[in-house]
A and B are shown apart, each in its own frame.
Chain A
Amino acid sequence: MKSQRFYKVWMSPALFLAPALLLIAVFFFIPVLASFLMSFTDFDIYSLADSSNARFVGLENYKNLLSDPLFWKAMRNTLYFVFVGVPLSLLVSLGTALLLNSKLIRFMSLFRLAYFLPVVTTLVAVAVVWRYIYHPSFGLVNYLLGLLGMSTVDWLGNPKWAMLALIIMAVWKNFGYNMIIFIAGLQNIPPELYESARIDGAGKWQELIHITIPMLMPTTVFVSIITIIGYFQLFAEPYVMTQGGPMNATLSIVLLMYQEGFRWWRMGYSAALAFVLFLILFMATLVQLRLQKHYSGV
């Protein structure tokens, strides 16, 4: 009797859940654990042939990491990409959302489509195109700078400019996504708020500062965190456009992890790098949860 009841409660959902949970357990949770263990070993090319060659080395990889100038270079580059790229990208997203949400605009859906097109296209293909757009002598960007009477720049060849070039491309590629979320946020603001502000004689600018921006705060928090998490995983752009150069100016955490793990097969070291990335994203998510609670509590 008891087993029959057990069967009734468990059997059916278990059958429906089994394929997904099995796949997630074997190809996600186990690798995460294995990766964690691996980060405490000296797993390298010899262990690749025979994994018994890997030895437990404790925190060695993490210690080496912290004293590796290349790691700090990659960390600085990635932080630069995130903390310049994300605010820039959010400003453009918010600006275009306000533009498309304006009562004066016509052909809104056509403009929205145009702004959104870079989002859906293949990053690698777009990166290849932008390599030529940034070409020092034939590229469009330098041509435009020349027309405006400014001096031209070797965008991807100069360590001073290369990361900024990747940021501009990333903003161009991604701003449409957050724009869509901002437009929805704008449409959720109750119109009465603007009406009463108008009765009080508020101008457009005051409306933006005192109503629109505060009301968009929860959306902004959400969008910032998902964008920060995405930007921390910078990989394909430097891989395709600069190979991390010039002089490691565009080497990112994930690119370094890829090179250490899959080019030099120093997998223990690479796993430690992966967990440093995870730790950073974990902290970013904690901040998001805290802020979200704060804003939904108001």
Chain B
Amino acid sequence: MNVNKILIHILAVAIALITLIPFVWMVSASFMPQGGANQFPPRFIPESFSLEHYLRLFKSMNIARNFLNSLILSVSITGLSLLVNSMAGFAFAKFHFPGKESLFKLLLAAMIIPAQVTMLPLFLMMNQMGLINSYLGVIIPGMASIFGIFLIRQYINSLPDSLIEAARLDGATDFQIYWRIVLPLAKPILVTLGLFTFMGTWNDFMWPLIIMTRENMYTLPVAMANLSGEHAQDTELMMAGAVLTVLPVIVVFMALQKFYIEGIMLGSVKE
């Protein structure tokens, strides 16, 4: 047994402990009885096991509603954005029309504008349209994504033109080509992008914080931020809320890890 090998593994385990211990403590504290987490030295195993904080979140804080809000927004934005962005990505990849290159370059250049710049007028627009405190107020601005169009275009570009020409000779319409040939072949990139969109929407904070001002419309992160202002002393309650917030993204990530890692690589490919 090599000394270096042992040292490397000790280091690797130490770093893993640093990244994981906050999660272990979060889960464990969420099951402690009231006051159990505020002890010195900190405990990792609850003295007694209690579900009271979860029950309180569901019974008196109505967290199920916040959970549902997050789920509705994440699922509908993911589905709609895949549709809208894959259509545009297909057009940019496989059609020839005047002005295509400059239009695409304009979109890419706009990617450097941070979202915060749009938020003030967007809020006023949503206010005019009566979409404050509505799902649509989050869904509509979240649907089209330049980054999504870019990723899908790159992928569809690599599909051979001959497939499309053959289908056209067989009399397929452009929509049939998109729906029956291109989309099934683009499945890997759609899964990757869908995963990014789902997790991004679930974790998003600033825009939902701005547009959802009623408690029953809060997403989980907004509800958490609000709770942490009002119930800062209820450590165990806050940890139970944090567990409920991160659990779905962790489960989804674990299931589709491979696609997520690939997505990071695709996003870092420079043009």
Residues of A within 8 A of B (CB): 9-10, 12-14, 16-17, 19-21, 23-24, 27-32, 34-35, 38, 48, 51, 96, 99-100, 102, 104-106, 111, 113-115, 117-118, 120-126, 128-133, 135, 137-140, 143, 172, 176-177, 180-181, 184, 218-219, 222-223, 226, 229, 233, 235-236, 239-240, 254, 257-258, 261-262, 267, 270-271, 274-275, 277-278, 281-282, 285, 292
Contact = CB atoms under 8 A, between A and B. Distances in A.
B107 A137 contact: no
Contact of A32 (B113, B124, B141, B221): B113
Interface stretch (B38-46, B48-56, B57-65, B184-192): B38-46
B121 interface: yes
B112 A13 contact: no
Interface of B: 2, 4-5, 8-9, 11-12, 15-16, 18-23, 25-26, 29, 37-42, 83-85, 87-88, 90-92, 95-98, 100, 107, 110, 112-114, 116-125, 127, 140-141, 143-144, 146, 149, 174, 178, 199, 202-203, 205-206, 209-210, 220-222, 224-225, 228, 232, 235, 238-239, 241-242, 245-246, 249-250, 253, 257, 260-261, 264-265, 268, 270
Contact of A13 (B97, B117, B239): B97
28 contacts: A12-B95, A13-B100, A14-B97, A19-B144, A23-B141, A24-B146, A31-B118, A31-B122, A34-B121, A48-B124, A106-B9, A114-B16, A115-B15, A118-B22, A120-B249, A121-B246, A122-B221, A124-B221, A125-B246, A129-B25, A133-B25, A143-B40, A180-B265, A229-B114, A275-B117, A277-B114, A281-B114, A292-B270
Contact of A233 (B90, B95, B114, B261): B114
Contacts, number: 253
Contacts of B143: 23
Contacts of A21: 88, 144
Contacts of A292: 270
Contacts of A239: 205, 209, 225
Given A120-B253, A274-B120, A99 B8 contact: yes
Given A31-B125, A128-B224, A278 B242 contact: no
A113 B257 contact: yes
A180 B121 CA distance: 37
Given A24-B107, A111-B16, A125 B90 contact: no
A268 B71 CA distance: 34
A28 B144 CA distance: 10
A16 B249 contact: no
A140 B239 contact: no
Contact of A16 (B114, B178, B210, B228): B178
A224 to B, nearest CB: 12
A118 B143 CA distance: 26
Contacts of A113: 257
Nearest to A34: B121
- Secondary structure dominating the interface of A: helix
A258 B206 contact: yes
Contacts of B85: 20
A271 B120 contact: yes
B16 A140 contact: no
Nearest to A112: B261
- Secondary structure dominating the interface of B: helix
A140 B42 contact: yes
Given A105-B8, A139-B42, A124 B117 contact: no
Contacts of B37: 132, 138
A104 to B, nearest CB: 5
A192 B269 CA distance: 24
Contact of B38 (A29, A96, A131, A138): A138
A106 B1 CA distance: 13
Tell which of A105, A111, A122 has the most Cβ of chain B within 10 Å: A122
Contacts of A29: 110
A115 B146 CA distance: 29
A13 B91 contact: yes
B16 A222 contact: no
Nearest to B44: A140
A185 B23 CA distance: 29
Contact of B123 (A14, A262, A275): A262
Contacts of A14: 97
B126 to A, nearest CB: 9
A129 B22 contact: yes
Given A9-B97, A115-B19, A281 B112 contact: yes
A99 B209 CA distance: 39
